[in-house]
Amino acid sequence: MAVLTVRRIRRLGVLDLSVLDEVGTDPRATLPSLAIAGGSMLMLGVGGWLWWIASGLGDSRTVLIKSVLIGSLFSLALWLAWLLVVYIVLHRLTDVTINVERLVRAAGMASAPLALGLLMAVPMISFGVGLVAVGTWALTTQAAIERATGRPVVIANAAGFAVWAIAMSLLATSTNQIAPGPFLAESIWDAVTTFDYAEVALGS
């Protein structure tokens, strides 16, 4: 099964989206698909952490624990919430029964592009790479939803993605970097704006 999973990832890498149909209808692919989702989110977190170190921001051990480990777990949980939102929206808009396991399997495989986040370790292009990884993931998830449900409803995926992205942004603060990949930049922005506000307050 491991060899088959690797082959499927390679096919997805060359934009063979038929692999999403194949995975969705294969009951054996449930655990591998969940593993792909979790592993890809972990790699996104590692990429963000390597960017943090390369930027000389310090406290790398704390960020490793918060962003990579805890952040990846939050990301995985919120991804499931994303799929739940998709299910609810599609059910309301189309009033059809959706095979949840098929949706999870296809969406899990569609999470593979997040592994590109590991390239955030490359200086100068780190943030852009992180955005590309997340953006590509959203697009492949849309393809997975369409193939798993037979309903090309963009609003369902957009709503689910919004829940994931907004929650990730809220988890990244100046004191708690509990968010993986490019969301670490949110914690720096929060620290900068908080500092500026303090300066203004003291000056007045």
For residue range 148-173, what is the model confidence (pLDDT) as tens digits? 988 878 999 999 999 999 999 888 87
Residue 124: count of CB within 10 angstroms of its CB = 7
Q: According to the model, what pLDDT value does residue 151 have?
A: 80
Can you say how many angstroms the Cα of residue 75 is from the centroid of all Cα atoms in its chain? Answer: 6
13-64 pLDDT, tens digit per residue, is 888 999 999 999 999 999 999 999 999 999 999 999 998 888 877 778 888 9
Smallest CA-to-CA distance from 104 within 153, 32, 159, 163 is with 32
List 172's β-bridge partners, or say none.
177
pTM of the model: 0.87
| Upper half-sphere CA count for residue 14 (Cβ side, 13 Å) | 5
DSSP state of 177: B
Question: In this model, does residue 204 exceed pLDDT 70?
Answer: no
Q: Is 124 helix (H, G, I), strand (E, B) or coil?
A: coil
Q: What is the mean pLDDT of residues 98-118?
A: 94
Q: What is the pLDDT, as a whole number, of residue 77?
A: 96
Average pLDDT estimate for 104-112: 96
> Is residue 203 pLDDT above 60, yes or no?
no
Higher pLDDT, 64 or 192: 64
Q: How many domains does the chain have?
A: 1
Average pLDDT over residues 93-101: 84
Alpha-helical regions (H) of the chain = 2-13, 18-24, 30-54, 60-63, 71-94, 100-109, 126-149, 154-171, 184-203
Cβ-contact 158, 106 below 8 angstroms: no
Three-class SS state of 172? strand
- Non-local CB neighbours of 98 within 8 Å, separated by 6+ positions: 87, 90, 91, 148, 149
Confidence of residue 199 (pLDDT cuts 50, 70, 90): very low
Domain containing residue 188: 2-203
**Closest CA relative to residue 145, chosen from 133, 136, 156, 132:** 156
